[in-house]
Amino acid sequence: MRMLHVFGPVALAAGLLLTCGGAYAASAEKGKAAYLQHGCWQCHGTQGQGAVTGPKLAPDPMPIETFTAFVRTSNRAMPPYSEAILSNDDLADIHAYLETIPKPADYKSIPLLNQ
């Protein structure tokens, strides 16, 4: 994880999610690790920015319910992740992590994108 230095203190923020096991305090920090561990970053980038391989996930991730349903049952380019290989807790953590990613600057304020 030496390559990832992109998250500030905001990454420590935690969400609260009700899972089948009861109340679970989702952790953005754990979510960052799970995001890498389960290969999400390979197609969506380390900040969920998206690429030709997978759409943008952040900022403003889809609601956790929609997010979970898609990850479990995807029949599109992304393969489905069953609970056996990606737990509900890990999934909640990943979502919490995506929620911490700030909005990018308006491209009009970036000189290199206005050459």
Partner 1 sequence: MAKKHLPVSRRKFLAGVAVAGAASAVPPAQAATTASASAAPRRPSALPPTAHVAAAESGTPNELSTSRIGGTPGSDFMVDVIKTLDIKYAPSNCASSYRGIHESLINYGGNKMPEFLTCTHEESGVGMAHGYFKAAGKPLMTFCHGTVGLQHATMAVYNAWCDRVPVIIVGGNDLDAAHRPPGVPTIHSAQDINALVRDFTKWDDTPVSLQHFAQSFVRAYKIAMTPPYGPVAISLDAGLQQEAMRDHGEKLYIPRYVPSSPPQGDSGAVKEAARLLANAQNPVIVVDRAARGENGIRLLVELAELLQAQVVDQGSRMNFPKTHYLGRPPTAVNNGDVIIGLEVTDFWGTVNAWIDNGERGIGINTSRIKPETKLISISSSELLTKANYQDFQRFQSVDVSMPADAEATLPALVEAVKAAIPTDRKAAIDKRGEAAKKAYAEQRERTKQAAALAWDASPVSTARLTMETWAHIKDLDWSLVASSGDMSNWPQRLWPMERYYHWLGRSGGSGEGYGAPASIGAALANRDLGRFSVSIQADGDLMYAPGVLWTAARHKIPLLAVMHNNRGYHREVMHLQRLSNFRNRVASLGGDLGPIGTRIENPDIEYHKLAESMGWWAKGPINDPAQLGPALKEAVAVVKSGQPALLNVWTQPR
Chain residues binding partner 1 by CB under 8 A are: 3-6, 36-37, 39, 41-43, 45-47, 49-53, 56, 74-82, 84-85, 104-107, 110, 112-113, 115
Residue closer to partner 1, measured from CB, 19 or 38: 38
Residue closer to partner 1, measured from CB, 25 or 60: 60
Which stretches of the chain are assigned E, i.e. beta strand? 14-19, 22-27
Q: How far apart are CA 63 and CA 90, in angstroms?
A: 16
Residue closer to partner 1, measured from CB, 23 or 115: 115
Burial label for 63, CB within 10 Å (0-12, 13-18, 19+), is exposed
